[in-house]
Amino acid sequence: MANTPPRILNQIREAKQKQLKELDLSSHPYMKEDYKLKQIPAEVFELEWLEKLDLSGNDIAKIPNLLTHFRNLRFFGFRWQKNHPIPDWINQVSQLKVDLSRFNISDTLPDFIFSLPNLTSLDLRDNPLENPPLEVAEKGIEAIREYFRQLAEGKDYLYEAKLLILPLISNLMDIFKRNQ
């Protein structure tokens, strides 16, 4: 707790005393680095009754598995975390809303994201996504699932199409060579 900003310590103490269900430890992305968390203070893990935890805007490089500590967690905010990886424990999610908006993901969503059956909400606004395209990601988790399903089918179809087209191309090349 030595490096934990005083405002954060006060919030944790208040949440513990009042047994609050929500804890907002977010920082504004333009806040001085001294005021941002570098790791989750150990005292936060004592608040096992939490339903909402917002760590947005901090500089936390690795998020431990929160589900082992917070069985009632329903919302996890992790916005403004430039190019930090999505925690892999999110694939164990059960009715969790996850806010990963504003530049968390740099290119492609991890494969497990679109196959999470219990993920109820995924906010990906303002991420420089290439796969899925931003216009798909903005439509929500069902659109993302459908995109990847179609992509998987499309790759199969593309492979099958190549198998059909390659012999035709070979025949055309033979005809072309003969006519020269």
Taking only the tens place, the pLDDT of each residue in 5-60 is 788 899 999 999 999 999 999 887 666 766 788 888 889 999 999 999 998 888 88
**pLDDT value of residue 18:** 97
Rounded to whole angstroms, the Cα distance separating 179 from 26 reads 72
Backbone Cα Rg of the chain: 23
6-147: what fold?
A: 3.80.10
Ramachandran sector of residue 7 (left: φ over 0; alpha: ψ -120 to 50; beta: rest): alpha
Q: Where are the alpha helices (DSSP H) in the chain?
A: 6-18, 134-137, 141-178
pLDDT, residue 170, reads: 67
- The pLDDT, as a whole number, for residue 160 is 46
Q: What is the pTM of this model?
A: 0.63
